[in-house]
With several copies, the nearest count.
Chain A
Amino acid sequence: MSIYINDKTRVLVQGMTGNQGSFHTGQMLAYGTRIVGGVSPGKGGQSVEGVPVYNTVFEAVEKEPADASILFIPAPFAKDAALEALAAGIKILVLIPEHIPLQDAMDIMAQARQNNAVVVGPNTFGLVSSGASKIGIMPNQYFIPGPVGVVSRSGTLCYEIVGHLTENGVGTTTVVGLGGDRVVGLHFIDVLEEFEKDSDTRAVVLVGEIGGSAEEEAAAFIKSSMSKPVIAYLAGKSAPPGKRMGHAGAIIERGRGTFESKVEALTEAGVKVADLPTKVPALVKEVTDGK
C-alpha cells in the first residue's frame, strides 16, 4: 500500500528530452512507474524510451489522461511549467529542480491550494510507493516493499537510511522527500497524517535536520494525533550556530530550531531518536517486531 501514489498513477514527465529527464524516465520505467507521456516544448512528436513527447501539458493530457507530473525543468522556467500542469488538471506535482526563486515557489503553492493539488518539493528527490511507482530520482534498488513509511527533508541522507533499512531486510510503504527549500508543498505533518491513515504503514521514520521548526511541529502532531510509532534521525548535531549549510532552511536562527530543541521535542512526543543513521534499523525493528 501507499500514500499519494500507487501502481495505477499515470505520470507525465515535463522536460523529458533533457539529460536528466531522459535518464530518469528510463530509471522510473525500470522501476515500474506508469509513465504516459513527456512534455518538452518544441520537441513534440519525438519519443524517449518509447514514451511519446508532446509540446504542451494540455496536448499530453488530451491524448493520455495523467494524475501526476514530475518536472525536470531549469529553475527559471519551473514556475511556468508547474502552473501549466496545475491548469491542465494535474493533482500531484513533483518539483525536482533546485534554485527555484522563493516568490515563484509561493506562486506555485497558491495555485496548488486553489486546485487542491499536492506539491512535492521543490528541491526534492520525489516520492516512491515501494515496488509500485517511483516519481523521483532516487536509486531504484533500495526501495523495496515493507511496513515502514519514510519522510525526509534531505535526499541523499534519506537514501542512506533507507539503504540501511533495506540491508536489514526492512522495506518501505512510501518514501516522501519534502524538499530542501524554504517554501515546499508538503510538510512533515501532512505526510505523517497520511501514514497514520495508511493501513499498511506500521511505523514511520522521520529524517530531519537543524533549522526551521518543522520537526517541532511534527513532534506536536505526533503527540496529539499519531498512534503509530515514529523513529527519527536528525542531521546537524555538529553544526556550528549561524553557519549556513547548503539548505536555505538549515540555518540556526535566534536559538530556535537547534539540534537539542528538536531532539527534546521529539523525545517528549515519544519518538525514538537515533544518534547515527546506522542505528535506525534496530530502533525500527524494536517497534515493529512482533506486531
Chain B
Amino acid sequence: MKLYEYLGKDLFDRYDIPVPEGRVVENPEQAAEAASELGEVVVKSQVLTGKRGKAGGISFASSPEEARLAAEKIFNMELGGFTADKVLVEKKVQIEQELYLALTVDGTAQRPVVLVSLDGGMDVEDVPEDRMIRWPVDVTVGLQPFMVREICRKLGVEGNLQKEFIKLLPRLYKLFREMDAELAEINPLALTSQGLIAADAKVTIDDDALYRHPQLPRIKEKTALELKAEELDLAYVELEGDIAVMANGAGITMATLDMVQHYGGAPANFLDFGGGADVEKPSQALELLLGTNPRVLLINIFGGITRCDVVAEAFARVRESKGIDLPVSFRLVGTNESEGRTILEKAGIKSFTSMDEAVSHAVKLLDAS
C-alpha cells in the first residue's frame, strides 16, 4: 500500500526524520490560510502517481493568494488518472543540494538494502551505478553507525554531513522495519543550512503486514472492480480484450494469457484466484468476472492445493444462481479431477484436459460468437 506523501511525512516525523513544516488542506482557502502562517510555500498535490512534479502537480507560492490559486489549479488537475482530495502546503526549504536516500528489499540478498546517492532529484534512475551506494543490512545486526561511516567513505562524505547521515539512516531503517515498509524513499533529501530535511516521502507498506498496523489509514486508488477483487483476495487486472480468463496461480494465469494471444485472441483480464480448498473463492471470482460482461469465458484449472471438484462445484453453483449463458471453455486436471469432471458433466459442461485445446477452443468460440 503506497502512502500519500503527507502520510509518509507523518511517519518520518514520528521517527524523528526532519520534514518541512506543513499543513494538509482540502480546499484552496485552507491553502491560502496555511500560506499566511508559513510564508513562502510549496503546494503539492497528494496523489500516488510518480512524476508528479513534471506533470505540474507541484507549485511554489510566495503569498496566500498565490497559494490559493496554485491549490485551486491542483485540485482541478488530473494526474495519472486521479485527482487529489488533499493538498500539502509546506514551508519552502532553501535547498543547497538534492540527495537521494531509500530503504527497500533486496530479494537476491534476502535483506533490507540502503540506497544512497549525492545525486538526488528528478532523474535519480539515471544516476550511474558507482554514484548510487547499495548496502544490504543483516537484520540480526541492524543498521549500525559503522555502516553509515562506510557508506559515507564510498560517497566521499565527511564532517557534518556524515554526522547527519549517522543520525538519519538508523531512524529510516527503524521505520522501515517496524512499519513493515517495502520501500521508504526520500527524494530529494534536501541538504540545507539546518541539516538534512526530507523534502518528499515515498513509503510503501507491505500489504501482507497491514494487519499489524491498524492505525494506518487504508488507501485505495483502484477501479471499483479491482477494489472488489482486492477485498476478495483475488489477483485481478483489467485488460483490453474479450476473453475473460480465470486460472489458479499467477504463473499459469500469465501463461494462459500468453497462449490466448498465441492463438490470436485477446484476454479481457488477468484473474488468479489463488488456490485453496474453499468453494467460496472460485465462486466469488466467477461472479466478479461475469460482472465484466465478457464475450467468452476461459477457465484453466490445474489442481494441486486447489481441488478440481471444488472449482467445478463453484461453477455449477454460480451457473445455476446467476445463469451463465456466454460460451465457456473449461480445462480441468489435477487433484480430484474425475470428481470435478463428473460434476461438470452433470451440469452439461464439456471440459478439456489439455490447456492447448481449451485455449484454442476459447478463441474459436470468440470467433463464432
Q: Do chains A and B touch in the complex (CB under 8 A)?
A: yes
Asked if B111 contacts A99 (CB within 8 A), the reply is no
B181 CB to nearest chain A CB (Å)? 8
Cβ contact within 8 Å between B267 and A103: no
CB neighbours of A213 from chain B (8 A): 108
Please name the residue on chain B nearest to A278 by beta carbon.
B356
* 0/1 string, B118-155, CB within 8 A of A gives 1: 00000001000000000000111100111101100100
If the complex has contacts A237-B261, A239-B254, A240-B239, are A106 and B112 also in contact, measured as CB distance less than 8 A? yes
**B252 adjacent to A80 (CB under 8 Å):** no
Interface residues of B, CB < 8 Å — how many? 64
In the complex, are the beta carbons of B182 and A160 less than 8 A apart? no
Assess whether B304 is in contact with A277, with CB atoms less than 8 Å apart: no
Task: Count A/B pairs, Cβ under 8 Å.
Answer: 196
Chain A residues with CB below 8 A from B39, complex form:
none
Residues of A with C-beta under 8 A to B158: 42
Bound-complex Cα distance A155 to B251 (A)? 7
Residues on A with beta carbons closer than 8 Å to the beta carbon of B144: 80, 83-84
B105 sits at the interface (CB 8 A):
yes
Chain B window 241-272, contacts with chain A (Cβ cutoff 8 Å), 1 for yes, 0 for no: 00000011111111101111110000100101
The reply to whether A59 and B277 contact each other, CB–CB distance below 8 Å, is no
Residue of A nearest to B262 (CB): A276
Q: A233: which B residues are within 8 A, CB to CB?
A: 255
With A83-B146, A235-B255, A245-B270 in contact, is A106–B237 under 8 Å at CB? no
Tell me if A153 is interfacial: C-beta within 8 Å of chain B. yes
Which residues between 193 and 250 of chain A lie within 8 Å of chain B, taking CB atoms?
A: 207, 209-210, 212-214, 217, 233, 235-240, 243-247, 249-250
With A102-B208, A107-B139, A139-B334 in contact, do A157 and B180 touch (Cβ < 8 Å)?
Answer: no
Shortest C-beta distance, A185 to chain B (Å), equals 8
A275 interface contact, C-beta 8 A: yes
Q: Please indicate the chain A residues that have their CB under 8 angstroms from the CB of B260 in the complex.
A: 238
Query: Knowing A240-B239, A275-B262 touch, does A153 contact B251 (C-beta < 8 A)?
Result: yes
Residues of A within 8 A of B304 (CB): 125, 137-139, 155-156, 159
Distance in Å: Cβ of A84 to nearest Cβ of chain B: 4
Which of A24, A109, A163, A243 lies in contact with B110, CB distance below 8 A?
A109
Check A76 for interface membership: any CB of B closer than 8 A: yes
Question: 1/0 per residue A141-184: CB within 8 Å of B?
Answer: 00000000000111111111001000000000000000010111
- Are B177 and A103 in contact, with the CB atoms below 8 A? yes
Complex-state Cα separation, A105 to B153, whole angstroms = 27
**Which B residues have a C-beta under 8 Å from some C-beta of A?**
105, 107-108, 110-112, 125, 138-141, 144-147, 149-150, 153, 158-159, 177, 180, 182, 206, 208-209, 211-212, 235, 237, 239, 247-255, 257-262, 267, 270, 272, 274-277, 302-306, 333-335, 354-356
Q: 12 A-B Cβ contacts within 8 A?
A: A75-B208, A84-B146, A84-B149, A102-B105, A105-B110, A109-B111, A156-B302, A157-B254, A160-B355, A235-B252, A237-B258, A277-B255
